[in-house]
Structures are given as C-alpha cells and as structure tokens.
Amino acid sequence: MTKNAIVLGAGIVGVSTAIHLQRRGRQVTLIDRKPPGNETSFGNAGLIQREGVVPYGFPQQLGLLIRYAFNNRIDAHYHLKTLPGQLAFLARYWWNSNAKRHEMISRAYAPLIEHSISEHNDLIEASNAQHLIRKNGWMEIFRTASRRDAEFAEAERLRAEFGVAYEQLDAAAVARLEPHITGDFVGGVRWRDPWSVLDPYGLTKAYRSYFESLGGKYVTGDANSLGRSGTSWRVVTSVGSLDAEDVVLALGPWAAVATRRLGYSFPLGVKRGYHMHYAAANNATLHNWTLDTERGYLLAPMSRGIRLTTGAEFAALDAPKTPVQLDRAEKVARTIFPLGERLDPEAWMGARPCTPDMMPIIGKAPRHDGLWFAFGHAHHGLTLGPVTGRALAEVITGEKPFIDISGYSPQRFL
C-alpha cells in the first residue's frame, strides 16, 4: 500500500520536500494556513546564492558592535524591550561567529550550497518556470577602497576553497554594468554562479502546481492540531482530519512553537526583514541585483518593480511592523538610483528562522518516529529549499541521501 505523508508548511522548503516525497511514491498532503509561498518565501531578495557558503555571522569587532548599539543602521535594527528574551540566542550566535568556529561551520554548510543551483534547476525545468529565472549572477558595490580590497580577498578565498566564481570590478566596470547608478563607488564584485528569481512567490506557486501534477494535494489546516493517532500522525484540516505515517515540519519561524508542543526546545530565533517595490523614474533601468554593501540594502529588478530589501530586525515574531530600516534604506537608495513612486500599499514584512550555529535543522525528530524537521534556513531558505527537500525525502524513504546531512541533525541542540 502507498504510504501517506504530510508536510506542514508550504514555503519553498515545504513545497520542495513535498515534491521529492511524491516523486518517491508517497501520497503527500501539503498543509498550511495560507496558500503556498505567502510567508517568508514571498518576500526574499530572490537570489539562489551558490556563492553563499559563508553564513551571515554576528559581528565580532567591538567598534562595530558599538555602532550597532546606536540602533540607527539599515543592515540591523532591534527592539530594545525584546532584547532580554533574545540574549541567550544572541550570545550563542556571537560565540559561533568567532573566526575559528565560523570557518568550521562554513565547511559544514558548503555541501548544501554547492548543490543549490542544480537542485533548483531540476524543479525549474519540471515546473516550466524558466521564464522566472535569470542566470547572470549578482553584484556587490563598494564605497571605500578598504572594503573593496577586503571583499576582493574574501572572494578569492571562496574561489580557492569552494570553487565559487567571481569577477572583480573597478569603478568603470560598475558604471558600464549599471549606467543609471551614480555615486562614489570604487568597485564591486560580480558573483557569476548565482541565479536570480524575478518573482519568488511565482516560483513557489510553480513548484506547487508541479507537485499537484504529480498527484500531491494541498489543503489548509492548523499545524497546532498535530498529534498522535495510534501509530500515525493526525492533523485537522479544512477537509477533515488527515492521518499519515510521516510528518515533516517545515514551518519556518513558527517551528519553535510547533516543536515545543511536542517536547522539544530548539534555540530558534528570528530575523525580520522588509521590502518595498518601486517604479524606476526617468526611464532608468536596473540590470543587476545590486547590494550597496557598506549601507546594507539590496535593489533587485523584479517583475513587480524594483524591490528594495533591508537587513535584519531583531524583534518578537508577532511584534507590529516597524519598517524604519526600509525608510532609511529608501533615503540612501534614492541618492544612487532614480527610484520612482512606491508600488505597494505598505511595506511587506517577513521573518527568517535562524539557529545560533547558522545551520538549518534537517532530519528525524530524536524522540518520535515518523516525525521529521526541516527549518532554520535563515537567509538562505529560497536557496536551500530544493536541496533540503531532496535530501530529507531520501532519508525518509530509506535511500542514501545524496549529501551527508548529519551535521544539520536536530540532535545537536538536545
């Protein structure tokens, strides 16, 4: 008999996992409270970051930490009243970001990133979503020679150690690539391997349609209703209670709540982020996904308009929006590119699920049979969705996974 499986969470990680389980002969039901791709997967920067082998660490330099303490930056913002509850997470995050441990973590993280393009390509072709993809990389631009030279050195290290391809840009090359960007930029790095996505929400929808073409089903339901039913798992949905032998929790920033109900206590934090779309004024064109590195915001030429994305906001998951970073970023961005009017009625906000060691949680629940975890991908949820989905589906169905995922085991936090 065909075994049933349930995937809770219909972001890019959940949809990808559902596809790979359905491909391997399971009858899969994908469950979320909203249509697929409407939460964190909706609002990202739209980059499949093959170059992103080094996770985003916590600043180590005392001078930089002091500057962050003033809470007036674009790349990071915090809610003072929520800091006491986040100190334990932040302390572990800071400790894991020291040079020695960060290097070890990057080496453990690299296999996931290495296969990000090839695994997305598989699903992009299967879902006929090629029209949503650009394959010309992205770039960082620099305002100071010291930052430029440091980033050139880091790019060369990544090339030598991890096979990442890049191109050094001088000021003239930046101007040729982006003639409508102005300002005293002294150079840049063009990362050649990554792909960019013109509509991240559209890509998740395309993957969902492909999943359903394989015979998979999507229904709305409540992850908090998950519980045991004999030897199976049961979830209450809009079409009634559903049972399955295996359940995958791919709930992103809400995974901490769901797993706590089952007796687990993972140190899962959140980094909230914002975006806004803009028209381009004066017939200007932005050709590349472009990071203003020293200021900490990114401009991305997407289908809906030019998307401006912010850095990290440390706040409670359910706290009201405080898009001060977006306002700061817009003010700076207008000085380098002719942004027109805002195209969204309000700023979009999402939350990235983060672990203190910067690696996702992927694997079997240590104290429950048939329960599997796939969350904590931080800034790289879009990048790592298909890789995670394939590797976890292979483990669930008894195959040898195509990459070793033992380093991402939930066991490391218990």
Question: Residues 385, 16: contact at Cβ < 8 Å?
Answer: yes
Please report which confidence band the pLDDT of residue 2 belongs to, taking 50, 70 and 90 as the band edges.
confident
pLDDT at 118 over 70: yes
| Residues above pLDDT 70, as percent of the chain | 100
Predicted confidence at residue 317, as pLDDT, reads 94
Entry field: residues in the chain: 414
Please report which confidence band the pLDDT of residue 348 belongs to, taking 50, 70 and 90 as the band edges.
very high
Rounded mean pLDDT, 155-179 = 97
- Distance, CA of 356 to CA of 379 (rounded, Å): 13
pLDDT at 214 over 90: yes
Report the mean per-residue pLDDT for the chain. Answer: 96
Q: What is the pLDDT of residues 358-374, one digit of tens each?
A: 999 999 999 999 999 99
Predicted confidence at residue 211, as pLDDT, reads 98
Q: What is the pLDDT of residues 305-335, one digit of tens each?
A: 999 999 999 999 999 999 999 999 999 999 9
Q: What residues contact 247, with CB distance under 8 A and at least 6 apart?
A: 5, 6, 7, 8, 226, 233, 235, 370, 371, 372
Domains in the chain, CATH or no CATH each: 4-41+201-265+357-413 (3.50.50.60), 55-98+125-194+268-354 (3.30.9.10)
Query: Is 306 strand, coil or helix?
Result: strand
Rounded mean pLDDT, 65-94 = 94
pLDDT at 92 over 70: yes
Nearest to 354 by CA among 381, 383, 378, 388: 378
| Residues above pLDDT 90, as percent of the chain | 95
Helices of type H across 323-380: 324-336
Rounded mean pLDDT, 176-191 = 97
Q: What is the pLDDT of residues 9-60, one digit of tens each?
A: 999 999 999 999 999 999 999 999 988 888 888 999 999 999 999 999 999 9
Predicted confidence at residue 1, as pLDDT, reads 63
Angle at which helix 381-396 crosses helix 116-126, to 10 degrees, equals 80
Q: What is the pLDDT of residues 389-403, one digit of tens each?
A: 999 999 999 999 999
pLDDT at 341 over 80: yes
pLDDT at 191 over 70: yes
- Distance, CA of 313 to CA of 316 (rounded, Å): 9
- Distance, CA of 302 to CA of 116 (rounded, Å): 21
pLDDT at 260 over 90: yes
Q: What is the pLDDT of residues 3-18, one digit of tens each?
A: 999 999 999 999 999 9
